[in-house]
Structure 1
Amino acid sequence: MHKWLMTCVGMILLTSSLPAAAVDVALTTPVSGVVKTVLVRQGQSVKKGQKLVVLDDAIFQARVMEAEGSVERLQADAQEAERDLKRAKELYSRAVSSTTELEQAQVRYSRTNGLYKEAQARLLVARKNLEYSTLRAPFEGTISKRLAEPGMVVSAELQPATLIILSK
């Protein structure tokens, strides 16, 4: 049997080259965590998108909340920096302030907007990791083998543990 590693629908899948009628696909999550619930049993038929395994998502939810807070704070900072830049441009155009003050406002505006975009990116990653804490069936099939149990620690390192084997 020839095996290779492949990424599909955000999950790491180990696919073996077997006859088209009997392809087993080993499924795991791309994030580390502790198995909270296993929602399937061996021999069970599943539909595409059906939940199979749920990791404890408390840490993932907390990271989303933390990232949302950073986005809100930095959005307010960016709005303030934009107002300051407009004010600095106005004062500079009336020769009330110096070039240095205008440049400082421009730098603050650029820096703050950069930090805001970084916070938005961290929020996207946190939301995606929360989504990945639930293993879903990538296609319709039958559970060939259930290896996951509640309390099991899943590590998304180089060789993540197989949680479910699904047959097409």
Structure 2
Amino acid sequence: MSKRTKTFISVGGIFAILAIAVFFFISAAGPKSQPATTAPPPKPVEFVNPTIDTIQSWDEYSGRFEASQRVDVRARVGGFIDRVHFRDGQIVKKGQVLYTIDQRPFQIEVDRAKADLLQARTALLQSENNFSRVENLKESGAVSLEEYDQREQAVSVARAQVQSMETRVRAAELELSWTQVKAPITGRISRDLVNAGNIVSGGNSNATVLTSIVATSPLYFYFSVPEDDYLRYARQAPGSGHSGSVPVRVELADENGFSHTGSVDFVNNEVNRSTGAMQFRATFKNDDGLLEPGLYGRAQFLSRPDYPATMIPDKAIGTNQTVKFVYTIGADSTVQVTPIEPGRLYKGSERIVTSGLAPDARVITSNLGAIAPGMKVAPRSTASSSTSPAPAAALK
């Protein structure tokens, strides 16, 4: 085969290869059939309608218990402590003897005063006898007027002396009675601050403090209410805080529930200028002796009696910075964002809504993380709580 023939065959093979490549390129670049696309199915969600229930509104504050009475026990006379009649920390009754001060000096004073009284009464009797002898002689002139007046005045002086001695006896007996230091109130006594054998002073402001007693029933609970809350209470029920009719419930530090009930019996007469709060006081019975002065507690104050409240499940509420909202279902089954004003939690899972929610709103409670505004959903109704759906006329 000639050289020219070989060259021709090579060029022809190259052209054939190029033709095949162009064919496949055109086939690849040609129009392709697109698969048919279908819209995703609506996201299934559950919803509830707002419910309404008649409830009471309780506001919470913190405070501490204080004794309704507290007394520092002091001696009214000085002397040596002869005996202590109580155990530290026991409950004592009003009038119970707590201490006995050495009575001997005071008994001697009583005996001396009684002796002086007897002497004064004897002197009075003698003066009256002397006066009776001259009383009938005045008209006959057998006794001078000067003698008559002297004996009459002697009787008056003797009577005054008797009265003075009687007062002295009573004072001495009173001081003798003070040697028995008695409990001025019923309550729990503190520890013995002065043991037997010690000398104490008494009868003045610097008298020795022997111990203290606090009344344990009833107890007072003091708490402070902010100025705006106080004004709200005052407008709702003028004077009710002073009447002792407003209920208060207290929960102690280790408790889970407000089981201790009392009522407000005192509201201070001015707002504290430093804190801007009004001081309230509630009275609590303490028959079981559990409560003690100084205990911390959280109080619930009945701020609003029975009223209809709109509620939804708390889990349905979302937050966008400072705005609270819920997802609701529109008429076309699309998700909408509805801002609301939530109130306090009720029964652990329901949230009171004060405004922003229509009576017939359908509030989404499930798949909240998988939906967005404008998305189509497949709604399914569920019951939110044991309350009944809110009638349109009752919601505001």
TM-score normalised by L of structure 2: 0.37
Q: Is the contact made by 1:145 and 1:166 (CA closer than 8 Å) also made in structure 2? A: no
Q: Choose the corresponding residue for 1:39, options 63, 75, 85.
A: 85
Q: Choose the corresponding residue for 1:24, options 45, 70, 90.
A: 70
Q: Which residue of 2 aligns with 1:128?
A: 174
Q: Deviations over 1:7-37 (max 9, x none)?
A: xxxxxxxxxxx95436431111211111100
1:167 is the counterpart of 2:214: yes
| Partner SS for 2:67 | coil
Task: Number of aligned residue pairs: give it.
Answer: 151
Residue type of the partner of 1:123?
Answer: V
1:49 is the counterpart of 2:49: no
Q: Which residue of 2 aligns with 1:7?
A: none
1:104 is the counterpart of 2:150: yes
TM-score normalised by L of structure 1: 0.84
Q: Deviations over 1:85-122 (max 9, x none)?
A: 12121222332111111011012111111111111110
Q: Which residue of 1 aligns with 2:118?
A: 72
State the distance in 2 between where 1:25 and 1:107 align: 50
State the distance in 2 between where 1:131 and 1:69 align: 19
Q: Out of 151-160 and 130-139, give the one that drifted further.
A: 151-160
State the distance in 2 between where 1:141 and 1:116 align: 43
State the distance in 2 between where 1:123 and 1:59 align: 14
Residue type of the partner of 2:164?
Answer: E
Instruction: Give percent identity, aligned residues only.
Output: 26
State the distance in 2 between where 1:54 and 1:90 align: 56
> Which structure: greater helix fraction?
1
State the distance in 2 between where 1:115 and 1:28 align: 34
Q: Deviations over 1:32-70 (max 9, x none)?
A: 111100111211111111100000000111111111111
> Which structure: greater strand fraction?
2
Q: Which residue of 1 aligns with 2:332?
A: none
Shift of 1:159: 0.5
Q: Choose the corresponding residue for 1:62, options 103, 108, 116.
A: 108
State the distance in 2 between where 1:110 and 1:78 align: 8
State the distance in 2 between where 1:65 and 1:100 align: 38
Residue type of the partner of 2:160?
Answer: G
State the distance in 1 between where 2:127 and 2:65 align: 62
Residue type of the partner of 1:151?
Answer: G
Q: Which residue of 1 aligns with 2:21?
A: none
Residue type of the partner of 1:76?
Answer: T
Query: Cα–Cα, structure 1 residues 89 and 47, in superposed 2: closer, same or farther, change >3 Å?
Result: same
Query: Cα–Cα, structure 1 residues 70 and 19, in superposed 2: closer, same or farther, change >3 Å?
Result: farther
State the distance in 2 between where 1:65 and 1:154 align: 24
Q: Which residue of 1 aligns with 2:193?
A: 147
1:118 is the counterpart of 2:154: no
Q: Is the contact made by 1:143 and 1:165 (CA closer than 8 Å) also made in structure 2? A: yes
Q: Which residue of 1 aligns with 2:264?
A: none
Q: Which residue of 2 aligns with 1:3?
A: none
| Unpaired runs of at least 5, structure 2 | 1-63, 216-396
State the distance in 1 between where 2:146 and 2:76 align: 49
State the distance in 1 between where 2:162 and 2:67 align: 50
| Partner SS for 1:92 | coil
State the distance in 1 between where 2:97 and 2:86 align: 8
Q: Out of 37-46 and 49-58, give the one that drifted further.
A: 37-46
